[in-house]
Structure 1
Amino acid sequence: MKLQLMGKDPESGDHGSPTVWVDGDTHELVIQGWSADEATLDACRRDGPIPGHESVIRIPPRMVPLVREALGVAELD
């Protein structure tokens, strides 16, 4: 697996989260973010179950440009 780092949240300081990568082999986005709290999980579960092998994360709006950039990179490969 080769991950291309797209960027880290500049407001995270030394914590390194959120972060966005593109997997060069599968063209999938890999996103590190804050774990969702129970209220968020409950709201998500109203639309359907969250399987045990999946997670819900939160990223701030300031990370949207990095996600857009990563989507463009994933489409180019």
Structure 2
Amino acid sequence: MALAFYGKDPSNPGNNCPAVFRDPITGDFYFQGETVTDPEILAMVAANSPILDSESVVRLPARMIEIIMEACRGGLQRTPGNV
């Protein structure tokens, strides 16, 4: 399986994550981002959708909305050097 890479946070000073990927066959999304550890946020999430032991909550900044939307549309894929 090869994931389609859609982009990384252009404002990240280390040019690392967060990043957005999508499986071109299943359409599933993969988000790489900061793992949320704030108990208040986790409690709010869990109040609406219990978090299983095999799951984690990740945060992507709002400034990545265009990258996320592009992945939702299944549009332009990027290569790691073309961020």
- Fold shared, TM-score > 0.5 on shorter chain: yes
Question: 1: distance between equivalents of 2:15 and 2:53?
Answer: 26
User: 2:12 corresponds to which residue?
Assistant: 12
Following superposition, the deviation at residue 44 of structure 1 comes to: 1.0
**TM-score, with normalisation over the residues of structure 1?**
0.84
Q: Secondary structure at the match of 1:13?
A: coil
User: 2:42 corresponds to which residue?
Assistant: 41
Following superposition, the deviation at residue 13 of structure 1 comes to: 2.0
The alignment's C-alpha RMSD in Å is 1.5
Q: Comparing both structures, which one devotes a greater share of its residues to helix?
A: 1
Structure 1 outlier segments of 4+, above 4 Å: none
User: 1:60 corresponds to which residue?
Assistant: 61
Q: Percent identity?
A: 34
Q: Comparing both structures, which one devotes a greater share of its residues to strand?
A: 1
Is 1:2–1:25's contact at 8 Å kept on the other side of the alignment?
no
- Count of residue pairs the alignment pairs up: 74
Following superposition, the deviation at residue 12 of structure 1 comes to: 1.3
What residue ranges of structure 2 are gaps of 5+ in the alignment?
Answer: 76-83
Q: What code does the residue aligned with 1:64 have?
A: I
